[in-house]
C-alpha cells in the first residue's frame, strides 16, 4: 500500500514557499512537519490556541497540492455512522420488497449478498477519503470534542489507511491522503492516537510573522500601522486574560482601524476599539487599564 506514495514536496523550504503562494505564512516548524508528514505518510495532530490558523493550514495545503479537502467536523456524540459509513436501510428494504414482488426468483443468500454490496453503502467523510481516486486532504476538525471511546474509530484509518467493514471486507486506500487533526486541547487525547501522529503545536506567531500576516491579509495597510498593531497585540497577550487575542482577531482589529481611518494608534483609539480584539468585558477592562500605564504588564 505504501508503494503508491508520491512525495509531494522536495524539502521543507518548498513547503514553505508553496504555502506562501496561497497566502499562508508558515514558519520552520509548520513547514518542517508538513514536509515530514508527506514523506512518512503520517497524520499531523495540530494543537494550539483558537484562531491561530490550524484549520486554515489544512485548507491551504489542499489548495497548494490541488487536492480535494474532505472535512470531518467532530462533536460530542459523533459515531461510526456519521464518521465512517452507514448502510442505506431504506434502499435495502426496497430491494428486499422488490424481490418479494418478483416472487421467489432468487435464494435468500443472493439477496443478502446483494444488499450488503457497495450500492447500498453510504460513505461518510473518513471512508470517502480512503476511497477517493484523486488526491485528497482529510481534515478531522476539533478531534478533542469526541469522547475517548469514539477516538478508537480513527485509529485504524490513521495508522493503516484502511477501513474494515464486516460485510464487505477491508477497504484500503488507493493513495495516502494527507491527514490533519486539529485539537483545541480541551481534553487530553489518548496515547494511542498521539502515538500515530506527528505533533505540531501552532502558537501565536512571533512579532515579525504576525506583522507579515497582517500586511498580506489586510489590503492597503501601512507598514508602520501594522508594526504598531502587532506590538500592541503582543503587549495585550502578555497579560493574564481569559481569552488572549488570536491572529484572526488581530486581523479584524487591523481592518477596523483601517476603516476608521486611523493611521496611528494611540492609547485612546486603542481603548475605543478594544472590543474587536477581546471578547470578555473583564478582559477589555483589564487591557484598557493596563494600556494606559507605561510600565508594561503588571506581573
Q: Applying CB under 8 A, which residues contact another protein?
A: 2-3, 5, 11-12, 28-29, 32-33, 35-36, 39-42, 44-45, 47-48, 76, 147, 185-188, 191, 194-195, 197-201, 203, 207, 228, 231-232, 234-235, 238, 240, 242, 265-267, 270, 280, 282, 286, 291-296, 299
Nearer CB in complex with another protein: 97/281: 281
Nearer CB in complex with another protein: 244/251: 244
Reading the block at residue 83, the C-alpha cell is: 464518521
Nearer CB in complex with another protein: 4/168: 4
φ, ψ of residue 67 to 5 degrees: the values are -95, 160
Minimum gap (Å) between residue 32 Cβ and another protein: 4
- Find out whether 189 and 45 touch, Cβ atoms under 8 Å: yes
Minimum gap (Å) between residue 274 Cβ and another protein: 13
Nearer CB in complex with another protein: 44/143: 44
Minimum gap (Å) between residue 250 Cβ and another protein: 15
- Find out whether 205 and 27 touch, Cβ atoms under 8 Å: yes
φ, ψ of residue 184 to 5 degrees: the values are -95, 10
Minimum gap (Å) between residue 155 Cβ and another protein: 13
User: Nearest CA to 143 among 207, 222, 58?
Assistant: 58
- Find out whether 270 and 250 touch, Cβ atoms under 8 Å: no
Minimum gap (Å) between residue 178 Cβ and another protein: 14
Minimum gap (Å) between residue 44 Cβ and another protein: 8
CA distance 145 to 156: 19
Pairing of strands 121-123, 85-87: antiparallel
Cell numbers 485539537: residue = 183
Minimum gap (Å) between residue 85 Cβ and another protein: 26
Residue ranges of the alpha helices (H) in the chain? 12-21, 28-40, 54-65, 80-83, 89-101, 108-115, 125-131, 148-160, 191-196, 207-217, 223-237, 247-259, 267-272, 274-277, 281-291
Nearer CB in complex with another protein: 25/127: 25
CA distance 242 to 43: 31
State the burial class of residue 248 (Cβ atoms within 10 Å of its Cβ: 0-12, 13-18, 19+). middle
Nearer CB in complex with another protein: 58/121: 58
Q: Could you give the C-alpha distances from 291 to 33, 294, 297, in angstroms and in order?
A: 37, 7, 8
Nearer CB in complex with another protein: 96/265: 265
Nearer CB in complex with another protein: 19/121: 19
Minimum gap (Å) between residue 207 Cβ and another protein: 8
Amino acid at each position: 500500500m505504501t508503494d503508491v506514495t508520491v512525495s509531494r514536496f522536495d524539502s521543507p523550504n518548498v513547503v514553505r514557499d508553496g504555502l506562501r503562494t496561497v497566502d499562508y505564512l508558515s514558519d520552520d516548524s509548520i513547514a518542517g512537519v508538513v514536509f515530514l508528514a508527506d514523506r512518512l505518510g503520517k497524520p499531523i495532530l495540530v494543537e494550539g490556541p483558537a484562531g491561530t490558523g490550524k484549520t486554515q493550514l489544512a485548507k491551504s495545503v489542499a489548495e497548494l497540492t490541488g487536492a480535494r479537502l474532505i472535512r470531518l467536523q467532530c462533536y460530542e456524540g459523533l459515531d461510526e455512522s456519521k464518521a465512517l459509513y452507514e448502510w442505506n436501510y431504506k434502499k435495502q428494504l426496497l430491494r428486499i420488497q422488490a424481490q418479494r414482488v418478483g416472487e421467489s426468483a432468487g435464494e435468500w443468500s443472493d439477496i443478502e449478498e446483494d444488499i450488503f454490496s457497495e450500492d447500498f453503502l453510504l460513505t461518510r467523510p473518513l471512508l470517502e477519503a480512503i476511497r477517493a481516486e484523486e488526491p485528497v486532504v482529510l481534515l478531522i476538525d476539533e478531534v478533542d470534542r469526541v469522547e475517548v471511546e469514539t477516538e478508537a474509530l480513527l485509529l485504524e484509518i490513521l495508522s493503516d489507511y484502511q477501513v474494515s467493514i464486516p460485510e464487505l471486507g477491508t477497504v484500503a486506500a488507493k493513495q495516502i491522503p494527507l491527514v490533519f487533526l486539529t485539537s483545541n486541547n480541551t481534553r487530553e487525547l489518548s496515547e494511542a492516537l498521539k502515538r500515530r501522529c506527528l505533533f505540531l503545536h501552532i502558537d501565536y506567531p512571533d512579532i515579525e510573522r504576525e506583522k507579515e500576516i497582517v500586511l498580506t491579509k489586510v489590503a492597503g495597510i501601512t507598514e508602520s500601522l501594522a508594526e504598531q498593531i502587532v506590538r500592541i497585540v503582543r503587549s495585550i497577550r502578555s497579560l493574564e486574560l481569559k481569552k488572549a487575542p488570536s491572529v484572526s482577531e488581530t486581523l479584524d482589529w487591523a481592518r477596523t482601524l483601517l476603516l476608521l481611518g486611523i493611521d496611528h494608534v494611540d492609547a485612546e483609539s486603542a481603548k475605543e476599539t478594544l472590543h474587536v480584539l477581546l471578547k470578555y468585558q473583564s478582559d477589555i477592562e483589564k487591557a484598557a487599564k493596563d494600556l494606559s500605564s507605561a510600565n508594561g504588564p503588571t506581573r
